[in-house]
Structure 1
Amino acid sequence: MSIEITVLFDVVPNQMESVVDAFRDLAVATRQEEGVLRFDACLSEEHADTVVLVEEWVDQTAIDLHMKKEYTEAFLSRVDGAFRNPPHVHRLCPLGS
């Protein structure tokens, strides 16, 4: 069974443009990784200044490798200080599992 994760980011309003650019770059690179099934950064239509990251991975090993990639580390540096709160990470589990 794959691993699905949704992460909500509460972005500092005046940093939204640079955060969106950073997410776009991260998504392009990440989608090339072996083990990624989905990696989409989206803007919330209901909540201004919120970015929602929707991920699906084949397994934990793929996630661990992703977190060690140079471009993932570069992304984290680019967005350092750009969020009002720590990201809300939701690792999803289907009902009945």
Structure 2
Amino acid sequence: MSIQITVRFDIEPDRMERVVASFQKLCAATRQEEGALRFDAFRSEEHPHVVVLIEEWADQDAIDLHMKEDYVAGFLTEVDGAFVRPPQVDRLQPLGV
């Protein structure tokens, strides 16, 4: 079974435009990874300074490899100090319905 993750980022208003560009680059690069089944960023309609990342990975090894990519380190450098609070990460489990 694949691994589903959502991550909510509350972004400083004055950093929003640059952070969106950083997410676009990160998504494009990550989608090329073999184990990345889905990697999409969305801006909240209700909360204009919130970005939600929706990820689906083949397995934990794919996630571990992703976190070691140079472009992930570059993304983290680009967005350093741009978040109001630490990102909220939710690793999802199916309800079995």
TM-score normalised by the chain length of structure 2: 0.98
* Partner SS for 1:8: strand
The CA deviation at 1:92 is 0.3
In structure 1, the residue matched to 2:75 is 75
In structure 2, give the amino acid aligned to 1:40.
Answer: D
Question: Quick one: percent identity of the two aligned structures?
Answer: 64
* Mapping of residues 15-94 of structure 1, within 5 Å: 15-94=15-94
| SS state at 1:54 partner | strand
The CA RMSD measured in Å over matched residues stands at: 1.0
Q: Does residue 6 in structure 1 map to residue 27 in structure 2?
A: no
Moved over 6 A (4+): none
How high is the TM-score relative to the length of structure 1? 0.98
**Separation (CA, whole Å) in 2 of partners of 1:46 and 1:53:** 16
**1:47, CA displacement in angstroms?**
1.1
CA distance in 1, matches of 2:53, 2:96: 24
Which amino acid in 1 is paired with 2:37? Answer: L
> How many positions carry a matched residue from both structures?
97
AA aligned to 1:19 is V
